[in-house]
Structure 1
Amino acid sequence: MSPRAALAMSLDAAEAVIDARALAAFGEVCSLAPGVLESFEDAQARAVLADVEVLITGWGCPRLDAEVLATAPRLRAIVHTAGSVHAHVTEACWEQGIEVASAASANALPVAEYTVAMIMLTGKRVLERARDYRAARRRDAWLSTPRSVGNFGRTVGILSASLIGRRVIELLRPYDFRVLLHDPYVSAEEAARLGAEAVGIGKLFSNADVVSVHTPLLPETRGLVSRDLITSMRPDAVLINTARGAIVDQDALAEAAVAGRIRAVLDVTDPEVLPASHPLWDTDTVLITPHLAGSQGNEWQRLADLAVAEVGRWASGEPFAHPVRRERLDRTA
């Protein structure tokens, strides 16, 4: 008999991620309750929770605290159609032995792809040179291109071997890069297996032509990319941040970028959105994108497909392929 399941997320998230094709796929592996639970407070939601065995969650899912779980005595599994589960999976879920899976690995791929694209583009200085070309309407003296331009032998520093950081290292393998990695939880041997050289955080920032930030935002990583680290970066180096804005000392970054010492690609800022008068908006060596690196558009299908597969595994008695481990929560986003 198929397990009874329900969707718990915002309506916007459900409409984006769970399309008709995904609904049909879920229907083959579980008995899905109609509608979407945006709240666990009303009587209709409580009636659904009373019978549900699997919750398929997404962005905007309410917190599953002890009070909510008391109304869901049959709940045994949570399958999240996005990345981090911190916002809704509480300690009470683990205490009750509820299994949790996440589509974080699926969401990691587009972020890694964005990162690699920006590494390549900044190496060739594509954005600046396209701007100059548009202004001049004539080709530059391309045989006079400085030796600092290009991607051959460039040193890329990866801050954190998170799911995304690991995918970036994997995607960089075909290219002629030297890859440095700083992650206090990764040994030199493991880094070498990934295809990187393990280094201290100081060496990462002072030796890399581009530093890409992939560490989760935790109390101990807030402000991790400090003024001293930014100051130590090579002239014209690039800082890419697709993680969280608060990991970087944004004032120090702005000062260095405005002074023309470093360049930056920021898919995240602190806050999002920056005030209209913030100097980073008007700095030619800084590209700011609207938190678009993660799954969007047709990439949402990958999240739904992973969730369907996980529900199918659980329903057949198999372990999750992408479990969230309680003991690793303090090191993950």
Structure 2
Amino acid sequence: MLNEFDAQLTIEQTKQQIAGADIAITSWGSRPLTEEVLAYAPDLKAVLHAAGTVKPIVTPAIWERGIRVSNATEALGKGVAETALGVTIASLKDMWRLSQHTRNGAWGDRGRVKELFNVTIGVVGAGKAGSHYIQLLQNFEVRVLLYDPIITHEEAVKLGAAKVELDQLLAESDAISIHAPSLPATHHMFNRDTLAKLKDNCILINTARGSIIDESALVGELRKGRLFACLDVTDPEPPVEDHPFRELPNVVLLPHIAGAVNNGLYRLGAFIVNDIERFLKQGKMRGEISSEQLNVLA
């Protein structure tokens, strides 16, 4: 059945929608698929999540019933990576500031402009989005550093990056793009101590999760005028009306658009349709995940 309600379904509506289903497609705003809900779909064999993280909808009951789970993180990650690349180029080119200065009558102030050439780009996290971002960077003559505890040195090289420890990445990167999952281990990864290690004029880009950055610590560094930040995510979202991010000149705020928006949603839909075809052919779904992976996924 198709959800034709222009709102999040209630638990009772969710039960009605899933009743008798063999395959369920969920997305943002879907309710958790608890034992109470799953009781209405005793023959359910697969859940395909047309969004990113499955944590809001997956419950132990799903794994206990042997229901297979897939998500569209790969498709979503492409949009995130493309946005991160665009923001990287715009920030190195100093487009945000120059656009405003030019609008106000200035011209020719190009002192801070950098090309995506012979610079060091730091990538934190080599999941679907981070890996695709690294792949996109292969089109440019840049040095790519990667911090990801799970990736091996050999895997990093295959991606096109050098695996390093976080301190080295912070100290040497001209721009840093965050693609880490939101986990207890990554909460406030960028804090007063780590942010102080960034080189002057470093560009910090976050298209992952707002909780990865200690915002009060970042505000402190930004007020010194030595960093530039592009934030597509904050904690919470949106920032409060009087948040310093809204006034500081060296911050660009975006309304969480890095993933799938408007026509980008069709990429998620196409991915899920392809995974349904894989499932029906009794193959492994491209976005398939296991219960064990939940501890390291976003």
TM-score bin (small chain): over 0.9
How far the C-alpha of 1:7 sits from its partner, in A, is 4.5
How far the C-alpha of 1:10 sits from its partner, in A, is 7.0
Which runs of no fewer than 5 residues in structure 1 stay unpaired? 1-5, 14-37
Pair 1:48–1:255, CA change in 2 (3 A):
closer
- Does residue 124 (structure 1) correspond to residue 93 (structure 2)? The answer is yes
Instruction: Judge conservation of contact 2:20–2:40 (CA < 8 Å) in 1.
Output: no
Instruction: Judge conservation of contact 1:8–1:55 (CA < 8 Å) in 2.
Output: no
How far the C-alpha of 1:91 sits from its partner, in A, is 1.4
Deviation digits for residues 73-113 of structure 1, max 9, x if unmatched? 11110011111110011111011110111111111111100
How far the C-alpha of 1:130 sits from its partner, in A, is 1.9
Instruction: Judge conservation of contact 1:236–1:263 (CA < 8 Å) in 2.
Output: yes
Partner in structure 2 of residue 207 of structure 1:
172
Separation in 1 of the partners of 2:132 and 2:195?
24
Instruction: Judge conservation of contact 1:182–1:198 (CA < 8 Å) in 2.
Output: yes
Partner in structure 2 of residue 87 of structure 1:
56
Separation in 2 of the partners of 1:166 and 1:7?
34
Instruction: Using the aligned pairs only, state the percent identity.
Output: 35
- Does residue 41 (structure 1) correspond to residue 12 (structure 2)? The answer is yes
Alignment of 1:143-222 (within 5 A): 145=111, 149-222=114-187
TM-score when normalising by structure 2: 0.94
2:202 is matched with which residue: 232, 237, 259?
237
Separation in 1 of the partners of 2:232 and 2:69?
28
How far the C-alpha of 1:71 sits from its partner, in A, is 2.5
Separation in 2 of the partners of 1:154 and 1:168?
15
Matching residue's letter, 2:219: A
How far the C-alpha of 1:166 sits from its partner, in A, is 0.3
Alignment root-mean-square deviation, CA:
1.8
Which runs of no fewer than 5 residues in structure 2 stay unpaired? none
Instruction: Judge conservation of contact 2:3–2:17 (CA < 8 Å) in 1.
Output: no
How far the C-alpha of 1:50 sits from its partner, in A, is 3.9
Pair 1:12–1:173, CA change in 2 (3 A):
farther
1:139 is matched with which residue: 91, 102, 108?
108
How far the C-alpha of 1:206 sits from its partner, in A, is 1.1
TM-score when normalising by structure 1: 0.85
Pair 1:51–1:177, CA change in 2 (3 A):
same
Separation in 2 of the partners of 1:249 and 1:187?
28
Instruction: Judge conservation of contact 1:210–1:237 (CA < 8 Å) in 2.
Output: yes
Separation in 2 of the partners of 1:213 and 1:39?
35
Partner in structure 1 of residue 80 of structure 2:
111
